[in-house]
Amino acid sequence: MKVKHIDHIGIAVKNIKQAGKFYTDILGLKIQGLETVADQKVNVAFLPITDSEIELLESTEPDGPIARYIGKKGEGIQHVAFRVEDIDETLTELKEKGVRLIDQKARLGAGGAKIAFIHPKETNGVLVEICERD
């Protein structure tokens, strides 16, 4: 597999508007997009930094995955995403290596990326996403 760079860091927040102020007002980054991913019950704000971005994740429902994450662990870094050249090939390779996956097949994520998650039991507790974008 070919990992190109860190695509984004996903940060779980209770409120994008409030949490975004640090990144915009203090760090001087810009929110370049806001998107709702309905099946994940999440609003996502994108703040690009060169080849990478910060993604702020805010739950749209009290029972969404991000709300449950915050309930258990509090706000903070929720996942790290690596950009790969070919996600289907990467998933095949991970399966061959016996790596447990949350997503057996790539699915459509925020920003039109093809994404899949690796099981955090394989990564010492880090939720790792792999993604492919055009």
Shorter beta-carbon distance to Zn ion: residue 15 or 66 = 66
AA letter at 9: I
# chain residues binding Zn ion, by CB under 5 A:
3
Of residues 98 and 120, the one with the C-beta less far from Zn ion: 120
Task: Please give the residues from 79 up to 108 whose contact with Zn ion meets the rule CB under 5 A.
Answer: 81
Residue 42's DSSP bridge partners are 37, 59
Burial class (CB in 10 A: 0-12, 13-18, 19+), 26: exposed
Please check whether residue 95 is in contact with residue 101, taking contact to mean a CB–CB distance below 8 angstroms.
yes
Which helix (H) or strand (E) is 85 found in, with range? none
Q: Is 129 in the site for Zn ion (CB under 5 A)?
A: yes
**Among 17-25, 66-74, 75-83, 95-103, which window interacts with Zn ion (CB under 5 A)?**
75-83
Binding site for Zn ion (CB under 5 A): 10, 81, 129
